Amino acid sequence: MNKLQFKPVGLMIISVLIAIVILLIEVFLTGSKDGSFLLTLSFWITLVQGTVAVAAAADVSQGKWAEPLKKELFAFYPLILFTAVIYLILSFHMDIYKWTAKPGRWLNPSFFIIRNFFLILLTFVLAHFYIRASLRGSKSKGVLAVLYIFAFVASQSFVAFDWIMSLEFPWMSTMFGPIFFMESFYAGLALGGIIAAYFIVRKIGETSAITKVLRDMATFMFGFALAWAGLYYGQFLVIWYGNIPWETSYFGIRMNHGPFNILLYLIIFILFIIPFVTFIPKKIKVSPAWVSFISVLVLIGILLERIFYILPVVPVNVIAVVIEFVVIGFLFVLFFVNRNQIIKSPA
Amino acid sequence: MSNKFVFEEKEKFLHKLEEVVKSGVSAKDIEIFTPYPVHEAEEVLKLKTSPLRFFTLLGALSGLIFGFLFTIGTSIDWPLIRGGKPIVAIPAFIIVAFELTVLFGGVISFIGFLILSKLPDVKRIIDPEEYGNQFIILIAKEGRK
């Protein structure tokens, strides 16, 4: 781990290099009608924004449960800026959206890129000021946490409505946004669970305090599993009951054709049934092995859900996705290892 | 008569509770009052897990089964096609089944709580002392050493 220690400038240079690697992959390895980058970005932005949202929610509710892991949850926040920068690569892939053939006032390529870029940037700026206030214990941290959560909700809703839902324009579902920002929070909790389990196994920090965090993360995931199922079912039920052909076609494509129908049941199993049933016993909630296993499973479930949304509409280059996941995953590990550097000197 | 310890802070209360348990006082002779649930106290007292959860499970499962049987049964008994949906339309029945799972689970848990706590018992409900936000340890006289 010591070999991975870098100063903030070093981390910045590595981030830029990784952004260039992703740019090269997207320019040379994938075509303009390829959804690989959208898949990669829609997953990682969910995780990185959700992690800060978990800490912000704890601050807003004056909850002390996230306190022992706050620094770790904050460590990933510069990656919001990273996602904002690499988001611009999506401008090479605008052909994946059918509406680009006939752009409108809202759905036109330049406005699409600009509004989403500035929204991600806004979440980064608010995260930066909120984290600074939170670390100083300033009174303004509550207000800044609320502002961050508003920006986070807006940004994740735009990820849902603009990035993913508009792939199938004119199909629409008003539940898409809430599902996305709820999933983002779910992903943040899962990452928190993994970190807490890692700390307990490695005996970093005060084990009894971290065990409480682990239990709280597991309890929250238990609740969010039910909330996720509720929202997802709410979206499905309305479309199923309405039975309007242009609405039902979305589920028709996915539920009547393999492997997407299997994928749907797998997602329900991973994001709802497994966490809900497994986290009922108290002992499981304080077991690092179980919590980390379920947390990893939840993250896989969210990735599968992104695949479920994107793959039926646009092709995905598996090699490109794997490389991008490895490099961004490496960046996550790097920021986690260097958390003390990042929190000491916020970027 | 009993021995009473009053604390304003949870940590001090837990510390004393640990001391009392270590001194050999049986958990049966210790009564605690806290302004909110303190799970650590349960761990210190090494209390057996309450069988209440089985009442909840029984209630929830019976509610789930009844919810589906009720909706499917009434639909088959009086078949009406609504909105072009099948007679037995599971997606719509999930809501009723879910609500009845919660309702039966809750009601049977409450009944289970009354049975396990041997309630109603007026003498035990009305406590002449009000402890507010304090953490209290009461040790029965027989338990003192």
Inter-chain CB proximity B92 and A237 less than 8 Å? yes
Residue A7, pLDDT score: 85
Mean pLDDT of B71-76: 96
Q: How far apart are CA A40 and CA B110, in angstroms?
A: 48
* Residue among B83, B94, B95 minimizing CB distance to A243: B83
The single-letter code of the amino acid at A98 is: K
Residue A138, pLDDT score: 86
Q: Is B96 exposed, middle or buried (0-12, 13-18, 19+ CB in 10 A)?
A: middle
Residue B2, pLDDT score: 65
Tell me: pLDDT of B128 over 80: no
Query: Among A195-199, A222-226, B12-16, B23-27, which is the least confidently predicted range?
Result: B23-27
For chain B, the farthest-separated pair of C-alpha atoms sits apart, in whole angstroms, at 76
Q: How far apart are CA A16 and CA A45, in angstroms?
A: 17
Q: How far apart are CA A215 and CA B116, in angstroms?
A: 27
Using a CB-CB cut-off of 8 Å, the residues of chain A touching B94 are 233, 237
In degrees and rounded to multiples of 5, residue B135 shows phi and psi of -105, 125
Residue A346, pLDDT score: 46
Q: Which residues contact residue A230 at a Cβ distance below 8 angstroms, ignoring those fewer than 6 apart? A: none
Q: How far does the CA of residue B136 sit from the closest CA of chain A (Å)?
A: 23
Q: Is B58 exposed, middle or buried (0-12, 13-18, 19+ CB in 10 A)?
A: middle
Q: How far apart are CA A139 and CA A124, in angstroms?
A: 20
Per-residue pLDDT of chain A (347 residues; tens, 9 = 90+): 667 888 888 999 999 999 999 999 998 888 888 899 999 999 999 999 999 999 999 999 888 888 888 889 999 999 999 999 999 999 999 999 999 999 999 999 999 999 999 999 999 999 999 999 999 888 899 999 999 999 999 999 999 999 999 999 888 899 999 999 999 999 999 999 999 999 999 988 888 889 999 999 999 999 999 999 999 999 999 999 888 888 888 888 888 887 899 999 999 999 999 999 999 988 899 999 999 999 999 999 999 999 999 999 999 999 999 999 999 999 999 999 998 888 764 44
Question: Closest chain B residue to A283 measured between Cα atoms?
Answer: B49
Q: How far does the CA of residue B82 sit from the closest CA of chain A (Å)?
A: 10
Quickly list DSSP for A250-306: HHHHHHSSTTHHHHHHHHHIIIIIHHHHHTSSHHHHT-HHHHHHHHHHHHHHHHHHH
Residue A130, pLDDT score: 95
Residue B141, pLDDT score: 66
**Total length of chain A:** 347
- Peptide bond before residue A259 is cis, with ω within 30 degrees of 0: yes
* Residue among B84, B94, B95 minimizing CB distance to A243: B84
Inter-chain CB proximity B92 and A241 less than 8 Å? yes
Determine contact, residues A253/A260, Cβ cutoff 8 Å: yes
Kindly report the average pLDDT of chain B as a whole number: 88
The more confidently predicted of residues A110 and B1 is A110
Using a CB-CB cut-off of 8 Å, the residues of chain A touching B91 are 236-237, 240-241
Total CB pairs under 8 A between chain A and B? 14
**Which residue blocks in B39-139 are alpha helix, DSSP H?**
39-45, 52-77, 90-116, 122-125
Using a CB-CB cut-off of 8 Å, the residues of chain A touching B85 are 241, 243
Inter-chain CB proximity A237 and B83 less than 8 Å? no
Inter-chain CB proximity A241 and B95 less than 8 Å? no
Residue A128, pLDDT score: 95
* Residue among B83, B84, B91 minimizing CB distance to A237: B91
Inter-chain CB proximity B84 and A240 less than 8 Å? no
Place of tokens 């980390």: A292
CA angle, A274 then A275 then A280, to 5°: 105
Q: Which residues contact residue A96 at a Cβ distance below 8 angstroms, ignoring those fewer than 6 apart? A: A32, A33, A34, A35, A38, A167, A313, A314
Using a CB-CB cut-off of 8 Å, the residues of chain A touching B83 are 241, 243
Pick from A233, A248, A272 the residue to mutate for testing the B interface (most B CBs within 10 Å): A233
ipTM of the complex: 0.74
Pull the structure tokens for residue A198. 């890692």
Residue B145, pLDDT score: 45
Pick from B46, B61, B98, B102 the residue to mutate for testing the A interface (most A CBs within 10 Å): B98
Q: How far does the CA of residue B144 sit from the closest CA of chain A (Å)?
A: 30
Pick from B47, B48, B54, B94 the residue to mutate for testing the A interface (most A CBs within 10 Å): B94
Q: How far does the CA of residue B21 sit from the closest CA of chain A (Å)?
A: 20
Question: Closest chain B residue to A243 measured between Cα atoms?
Answer: B83
Among chain B, residues having any CB pair with chain A shorter than 8 Å are 83-85, 91-92, 94-95
Residue A144, pLDDT score: 95
DSSP element (H, E) containing B136: strand B135-140
Q: How far apart are CA A117 and CA A155, in angstroms?
A: 10
Q: Which residues contact residue A326 at a Cβ distance below 8 angstroms, ignoring those fewer than 6 apart? A: none
Q: How far apart are CA A305 and CA B93, in angstroms?
A: 25
Inter-chain CB proximity B83 and A241 less than 8 Å? yes
Inter-chain CB proximity A237 and B84 less than 8 Å? no
Percent of chain B with pLDDT over 90: 52
